[in-house]
Amino acid sequence: MQLLESLDVILLAALVLLVLARKLNVPYPTLLAVAGLGFALLPFAPKIAVDPHLALALFIAPALLYACYNTSPRALRRFWFPLLSLAVFAVLVTTATVALVGVTLGGLSLAAAFALGAIVAPPDAAASEAVLGEVGIPRRGLLLLQGESLLNDATALLLFGLASAFATHSNTAVTPLALAAAIPGGVVFGALAAWAYLRVTPLFARTLGASLADFAVTFGIWLLAERLHISPVLGVVTFGMIVSQRRPIGQPARDRLQGAAVWSAAVLLLNIIAFALMGLQSRDILIRLPSAERWPAIGFAAVVLATVLATRIAWVFFVRFVEGAIASRYAPSWMPEPPPWNASVILSWSGMRGLLTLATAFALPRSVLGRDLIVLAAFGVVIGTLVLQGLTLGPLIRHLHLGEDPDLADEIAPARKQLIDAGLAVLPVGGGEAAEALRFRYGAASKVIADSVDPQATSEFDELHLQMIARQRVVLHRMRDAGEIAEDVYRRLQEELDWSEVDARSYGDNILKAT
């Protein structure tokens, strides 16, 4: 009962913080990090131990799938060079520099120091997007952060598994040879799971099971992959990328809207719980440490934070210099035009750590020597980046005058016009008053390129409207598959069609049933 009461207090406090974050224009993870520490100081705060084997499956598996649903495969291919530098090499460089600090200043073993590096290396795009979405930056920046957040998770978790195995002297965990087999094994397993899931998921259409199936399969992939000693990270990522691109065109709009809402709430809940657990574990670690070791441990965490910040800044500007040199001398077709230097400043300062760092810190085996110091340093990096960068990123963007480019609006307008024209083309000649009403309604929308859908009851108008939407979906999928529109444009227009379809369907069709 005490645990349930504490959880309810955490959730109620989180609701207040979400409102406060919106009022102050501060990313919500920043306030959650501070609140997590404050919660640990409350006299009634319980002691909660997290099973290391449970931590990654509970926190990371759903977060990875959610990231897959919001990542553009085409953007990954287009910006492969900067993404490779950020999601792979930046993680490797950060891991190595932090490991050096851990060995020289923290007295950690090499394996334990590399585990610390892998824990703090990957940024979390959620906090950065919370600021960038409010202030507005060019789409390239957001696409890079989304792609980096997905791919660096895989890189960091593979490194973490390898370092943890060596730190615990495990004979059955990840070894270099097993890692070489785990990578393709995870990809193949994820692809097979996606193939099967896409054929089963129509059975749950228009039911609450549609959202539950996503969760059940995601956790199932992770747990089964661990038992098969293949990469659960790559299994979930492969599954998510395939399913997000290949869901049936006839998937009910209500299912898609409901799924998006459920996943957003679930990831938010996981963040709230993770930050509360961070505060509780920080308290327990500081209590266990002898008084003479507490300030040195906090100082070590501060040095690790400074190392993480400096490494990302140096690496982003190094890559920008290399991009500029290659583009100016060779101008290869495979390399997009390098971003302006002020955009590189923003990218270098957008490396806030979050859920992944917390989850891997929870998952570090208790037998690792120096675990308390490693976990405390990881929490320090999360809090430091969220506070320092979270509170200054917005003002920095405004100071650099890095406004949002008009590419998204310029691309949405003609694509939306094409969808409207495709819908109008299926209306019968003449067609009566309902068809004329649709022509009038969409003719006006075509002129202003704006949506104005009002709730209506089922009628002949709605039936014709649904025929139009079905045709528009075909055209929208064709444009996406042909590369005529970007993934974010596709999702924006798909959501518009979903809401239009929900509006046109009868009340009974929109009710999600248990079975």
Q: Tell which wins on pLDDT, 355 or 406.
A: 355
What is the predicted pLDDT for the residue at 461?
A: 63
What is the predicted pLDDT for the residue at 244?
A: 84
For residue range 359-373, what is the model confidence (pLDDT) as tens digits?
A: 999 999 888 889 999
Q: Distance between CA 207 and CA 251 in Å, rounded?
A: 12
Q: What is the DSSP string of 286-319?
A: HHHS-HHHHHHHHHHHHHHHHHHHHHHHHHHHHH
The single-letter DSSP state of residue 207 is B
How many other CB atoms are there within 10 angstroms of residue 509's CB atom? 15
For residue range 213-251, what is the model confidence (pLDDT) as tens digits?
A: 888 999 999 999 988 888 888 899 899 889 888 876 777
Confidence of residue 111 (pLDDT cuts 50, 70, 90): very high
What is the predicted pLDDT for the residue at 328?
A: 80
Q: What is the mean pLDDT of the chain?
A: 80
What is the predicted pLDDT for the residue at 310?
A: 96
Rounded mean pLDDT, 442-467? 55
Rounded mean pLDDT, 55-77? 82
Rounded mean pLDDT, 397-423? 71
Q: Is 513 helix (H, G, I), strand (E, B) or coil?
A: strand
Q: Quote the tokens at residue 68.
A: 């897959």
Upper half-sphere CA count for residue 476 (Cβ side, 13 Å): 27
Rounded mean pLDDT, 311-319? 93
CA dihedral 92, 93, 95, 96 (to 10 degrees): 110
Q: Say which amino acid occupies 363.
A: A
* Beta-ladder partners of 207: 513
pTM, to two decimals: 0.77
Q: Tell which wins on pLDDT, 3 or 164.
A: 164
Please say if the pLDDT value at position 270 is more than 50.
yes
Tell me yes or no: is domain 2-400 CATH 1.20.1530.20.
Answer: yes
What is the predicted pLDDT for the residue at 455?
A: 30
Q: Distance between CA 436 and CA 153 in Å, rounded?
A: 52
Domain boundaries, the chain: 2-400, 407-510
Q: Say which amino acid occupies 93.
A: V
What is the predicted pLDDT for the residue at 410?
A: 67
Q: Tell which wins on pLDDT, 376 or 287.
A: 376
189-193, 392-396, 417-421 — most confident range = 189-193
